[in-house]
Structure 1
Amino acid sequence: MAFFLETLFGGLMVGMLYSLVALGFVLIFKASGVFNFAQGAMVLFAALAMARLSEWIPQWIGIDNKWVANVAAFAVAGFLMFIMAWLIERLVLRHLVNQEAATLLMATLGITYFIDGLGQTIFGSNIYKIDIGMPKDPVFVLDSVFQGGLLLNQEDIIAAAIAAAMVIVLSLFFQKTATGRALRAVADDHQAAQSIGIPLNRIWVIVWCVAGLVALVAGMIWGSKLGVQFSLTTVALRALPVVILGGLTSVPGAIIGGLIIGVGEKLSEVYLGPFVGGGIEIWFAYVLALVFLLFRPQGLFGEKIIDRV
């Protein structure tokens, strides 16, 4: 029982990180109808900026304090992500309003490769580390309930807590604030939102800035766990099955889908992996997403589209 719970908790923690990345996809799709394949590249760029700036800033200001360097690096990286979001809207999306979905998809793919190259040019292509002070030693919990307790990784616990806090803040922002209500109005009907005075361009800039902030937090956490390398792009794209499972237009779906994928990956690898030679964790999420595309393409919480002719 204790081993099962350790595996379950590990899956929930990874799933919360998936949910955080998936939120970036959902927010942009809800506000603009664009499926942003560049989200993975944004995570990588943000992680590179965080890693390199935390090295450079102490040299620039002459202060050897890791906490100050991390806070300053996070602030500057956040500013860079806001600038990137503004440029994407100003130079690309504004000129593609009401274009076909395939056109918008190709635009985000082009943005992906541009951001990858830009990050490598500015920050380098080596493997870097982000040290934000998260403890990496495991800890035993629930000693009084289970013999020997449950062995959990402190870094995973803290990372999951940060991701959960970010998800809650974004959910409240989307549901309770005036800007969040405007985002929902734009998502429901662009023309109706414009007719009541909601500026689409400003809303799209805001939502891309929020997606950039999500990418920064996700990149910081994944970079601390795995190191900052170009494989982070593919790690972020593992959130795609989460979006398919939860629904492209559902914020709660991104959260629930991430938790299901995270737990499913861990449990299937541990309990089914030995029978098939392992490796289930790599493809489990995509097979599950394929099943949903066949039988429920709108996802668990997505809106079913009915075309009447």
Structure 2
Amino acid sequence: MGFFLETLFGGLMAGMLYSLIALGFVLIFKASGVFNFAQGAMVLFAALAMARFSEWFPKWFGFDNAVLANLLAFIGAMAVMVVVAWVIERWCLSRLVNQEGITLLMATLGISYFMDGFGQTLFGSDIYKIDIGMPKDPIFLFEQTFQGGVLINAEDLYAALIAAALVAALSLFFQKTATGRALRAVADDHQAAQSIGIPLSRIWVIVWSVAGFAALVAGIIWGSKLGVQFSLSQVALKALPVVILGGLTSVPGAIIGGLIIGVGEKLSEVYIGPMLGGGIEIWFAYVLALVFLLFRPQGLFGEKIIDRV
């Protein structure tokens, strides 16, 4: 039972990180109606900015304080992501208003490849370290209940708590604020939203900035665990099955979908993997997403679209 709980908790903690990245996909889809394939590249770009700024700022400004360096690096990286959001809106999305969905989809693919290449040109292509002080020692829980207790990685636990707090904050922002309601209006009908005075360009900058903030936090957490390297953009793409499972338009769906994917891949790898030779954790999420596309393409919480003719 203790081992099962360790695997379950590990899946839940990984699932919260998937949910955090998936929120970026959901927010942009709700605001622009396009699936943002650049979200993985945004995670890598933001993590590279954070890692490099934390190295450069102490040298540039002549101080030796790790906490201050990380704080300034975070502010600098967030500023970079806001600039990226403005550039994407100004030079790409504003020129593609009311175009076909496939046009916007191809635009995000182009943005993805550009950010992958430009990020490594600007910040370098080595493996960089992000150290924000999260404890890495394991901790034991429920020692009185199970023999030996349940072993949990402290870094994973703190990362999951940070991701959960941010997911909750973004959910409240989207559901309770005037800007969040404007985002939903823009998602439903661009032209109608413009006709009642909602500035489409400002909304798109805001939503891409929020998605960039989510990408930055996810990049910091994954970079702290794995190091900042090109594979981060591939890790971020694990959120694709999450949004398919939860629903492209559902914030709660991104959360539930992330938890299901995280737990499912961990349990299947541990309990089914030995019988099939391992490797299930790599493809489990995508097979589950394929099943949902076949039988429930709108996902668990997505809206079913009915066209009346």
- Report the alpha carbon displacement of residue 263 of structure 1 after superposing the two structures with TM: 0.1
Query: Are 1:168 and 2:178 an aligned pair?
Result: no
**2:40 pairs with 1:63:** no
Residue 152 (structure 1) aligned with residue 152 (structure 2): yes
Counterpart Cα distance in 2 of 1:109 and 1:174: 26
Tell me which amino acid in the other structure corresponds to 1:185.
A
Partner of 1:133: 133
2:306 maps to which residue?
Answer: 306
Q: Tell me which residue corresponds to 1:30.
A: 30
Mapped to 2, the partners of 1:137 and 1:45 lie a distance apart of 28
RMSD: 0.7
Alignment of 1:101 onto 2:108: no
1: distance between equivalents of 2:291 and 2:274? 23
Q: For residue 282 of structure 1, what is the amino acid of its counterpart? A: I
Aligned-residue offset at 1:195: 2.1
The aligned residue for residue 219 of structure 2 is 219
Compute the displacement of 1:192 (Å): 2.2
Q: Superposition pairs for residues 35-114 of structure 1, below 5 Å? A: 35-114=35-114
SS of equivalent to 2:228? coil
The percent identity for this pair of structures is: 81
Q: Distance in 2 between matches of 1:224 and 1:112?
A: 22
The gaps in structure 1 that reach 5 residues or longer are: none
The amino acid across from 2:72 in the alignment is A
The CA deviation at 1:11 is 0.1
Aligned twin of 2:6: 6
Question: 1: CA distance between counterparts of 2:189 and 2:109?
Answer: 25
- Structure 1 letter corresponding to 2:56: W
Question: Could you say which residue in structure 2 is the equivalent of 1:142?
Answer: 142
AA in 2 matched with 1:204: W
C-alpha separation between the residues in 1 aligned to 2:61 and 2:194?
46
More deviation, 68-77/109-118? 109-118
Match of 2:21 in 1: 21
Scaled by the length of structure 2, what TM-score is found?
0.99
Q: Deviations over 1:107-129 (max 9, x none)?
A: 11111111111111111000111
The DSSP-based 3-state class of the residue aligned with 1:213 is helix
2:263 maps to 263
- 1:139 match: secondary structure: strand
Q: How much has 1:191 moved relative to structure 2?
A: 2.2
Aligned to 1:253: 253
- TM-score, normalization: structure 1? 0.99
Cα distance per residue 1:25-58 (max 9 Å; x no partner): 0000001112110000000000000011101111
**Which amino acid in the other structure matches residue 106 of structure 2?**
M
- Give the match's secondary structure for 1:151: strand
What is aligned with 2:200? 200
CA shift, 1:77, in A, is 0.3
Report how many residues are paired.
Answer: 309
Match of residue 180 from structure 1: 180
Helix, strand or coil at the partner of 2:262: helix
Give the drift of 1:286: 0.2
Q: Which amino acid aligns with 1:13?
A: M
* Structure 1 outlier segments of 4+, above 4 Å: none
Give the corresponding residue for 1:230. Answer: 230
Q: Which amino acid aligns with 1:285?
A: A
Native 8 Å contact 2:98 2:190 kept in 1: no
Q: Is the 8 A contact 2:292 2:299 kept in 1?
A: yes
Counterpart of 1:128 in 2: which secondary structure?
A: coil
Tell me the CA shift for residue 142 of structure 1: 1.3
CA distance in 2, matches of 1:17, 1:215: 10
Report the alpha carbon displacement of residue 308 of structure 1 after superposing the two structures with TM.
Answer: 1.9
Contact 2:2 2:149 in 1 (8 A): yes
